[in-house]
Structure 1
Amino acid sequence: MNKIQLGKSDLEVGEISLGCMRMNTLSKEEASRVIHNAIEQGVDLFDHADIYGGGESESVFAEAFQMNDDARENIKLQTKCGIRKGFFDFSKEHILESVEGSLQRLKTDYIDTLLLHRPDTLMEPEEVAEAFAILKERGKVRHFGVSNQNPMQMELMSKYLGEDLIINQLQLSLVHTPMIDEGFNVNMQNDPSIVRASNALEYCRLNDITIQAWSPFQHGMIEGPFIGNEAFPEVNAKLQELAEKYNVTDSAMAIAWILRHPAKIQPVVGTMNTQRLKDITAASHIEISREEWYELYRAAGNDLP
């Protein structure tokens, strides 16, 4: 698998990562097969969050991986915090407490990347900076990032931090493209011209922040996959056409579309199916043309101005 650098860090990882939100639904043996299959395909960054399975996904991962010092050095662990029942919490106390819980569940001494999960309007950036400094000084977290944040939210936080944010995790799929749409429709009076992502795509490129694309096969937020969905006939027909051309699956083509963008976006794939992950990671070895990228974008229902 091709490698990318995460932000301005020294972390070099496979350009496709595995999201572990559903790992709590697996047995230890099933999870072990998923993890080791991912590593065999070149996937070495595993994305977690303290809320996934109520924390159980992290525990299942550690048990299945049989975490030890030697094995730990071969993978990168990422987790997120900040979502609580009914509210968001970027307080120093919660960040520190959440990381301790994740470290215990993952049976590791350190997290490679910690992301703040959803923007907290009650955030005190000075508190976040204090928490990050403590975690970095104690060797518990090596790098930091955010999830679902716009440029000004990141700027506010960065004003107080002593280091770079290296990741912004944002929803992106072939049929969920607001961060791209707004860039095409500058000064237009149509729905795609509405600025929903506040130029997050360009901001992250300017500041060498890696965008991680979550839900790369979903339409809406939780509505379900668009791959093979009869509600999306045009994009599925085009995906199938190109999949046959490149001898990959339609899911791999949907990932190849994301990887083709020069922003070097890293998809976070959440499948727990070993064969499907093998099929998807084939996307790393193909590069669709500019014309094909735009054909897929238009087939997804987007009109160019």
Structure 2
Amino acid sequence: MELRELGNTGLKVSTVGFGAAPLGSVYGPITKEDAIASVRHALDLGINFFTSLCTTLSLSYAEGGIWMLGIALKAVGVLRSDYIVSTKCGHCKEGFDFSAERVTRSIDESLSRLQLDYVDILQCHDIELGLFIGS
């Protein structure tokens, strides 16, 4: 798998990423074993970039996907430095909230669910919609 530098971040990400939404059973039921096997297979193929949705989004698969991704990454036993994780903030059950307090809380929630000490990339989820409706 080809790795490319992400801007001037120093991060080298695979040209194909792994979105965690399917791990939350968005396309049908998925077992913990299948989630672990999927993440292991992605890593074996050279995929090192994993992304999850905002943990506070009102979609059940968003939360399920981030939990399952954390479980799977821990289960495969690779070094934390061998993969890159992004998560999102701002689009919450309560609506759009890009305040410093809510963003900080979103990061903390993501870290807990992912069972990680840090995420590499934080993205604002649907910020244009939040700005448009006056958030």
| Compared CA separation, residues 67 and 105, structure 1 to 2 (3 A) | farther
- Aligned with 1:48 (options 47, 52, 57): 52
TM-score (norm 2): 0.82
Mapping for residues 243-258 of structure 1, pairs under 5 Å: none
> CA separation in 1, counterparts of 2:19 and 2:78?
22
2:105 matched to 1:97? Answer: yes
Q: Structure 1: give runs of 5+ residues left out of the alignment.
A: 124-305
Distance 1:67 1:99, change over 3 A: farther
Greater relative contact order: 1 or 2 (C-alpha under 8 angstroms, separation 6 or more)? 2
After TM superposition, give the deviation of residue 86 of structure 1 in Å: 6.2
Q: Distance in 2 between matches of 1:43 and 1:87?
A: 33
What is residue 2 of structure 2 aligned with on the other side?
Answer: 2
Superposed displacement of residue 24, structure 1:
1.4
What do you get for the CA RMSD once the two structures are aligned? Answer: 2.0
Residue pair 1:82, 1:116 contacting (<8 A) in 2 also: yes
Equivalent residue for 1:117? 125
Q: Which residue of 1 aligns with 2:34?
A: 30
Percent of residue pairs identical: 28
Return the alpha-carbon distance in structure 2 between the equivalents of residues 86 and 105 of structure 1. Answer: 19
Task: Give the secondary-structure state (helix, strand or coil) at the position aligned to 2:9.
Answer: coil
CA displacement, residues 254-300 of structure 1 (integer Å, 9 cap, x when unaligned): xxxxxxxxxxxxxxxxxxxxxxxxxxxxxxxxxxxxxxxxxxxxxxx
**How many Å separate the matches in 1 of 2:116 and 2:105?**
15
Question: Are positions 1:107 and 2:115 aligned together?
Answer: yes
Higher Rg: 1
In structure 2, the residue matched to 1:79 is 87
The residue aligned with 1:15 is 15
Unpaired runs of 5+ residues, structure 2, are none
Residue 57 of structure 1: aligned partner: 65
Letter in 2 for 1:22: P
Deviation at 1:47, TM superposition (A): 0.8
Return the alpha-carbon distance in structure 2 between the equivalents of residues 68 and 29 of structure 1: 11
Q: 1:62 to 1:43 in 2, by over 3 A?
A: same
Deviations 1:83-122 (A, max 9, x none): 1236211111110111100000000100000000112214
The amino acid across from 1:17 in the alignment is: G
Deviations along 1:131-182, one digit per CA (max 9) or x if unpaired, are: xxxxxxxxxxxxxxxxxxxxxxxxxxxxxxxxxxxxxxxxxxxxxxxxxxxx
* Per-residue CA distance 1:54-98 (angstroms, 9 max, x = gap): 422111111122269852221101101111236211111110111
- Secondary structure of the 2:105 match is helix
* 1:22 CA drift (Å): 1.6
For the residues of structure 1 that align with 2:76 and 2:47, how far apart are their CA atoms?
19
Q: Which runs of 4+ in 1 moved over 4 A?
A: 67-70
Aligned partners of 1:55 and 1:102 also within 8 Å? no
Q: For the Cα contact (< 8 Å) 2:21–2:62, is it kept in 1?
A: no
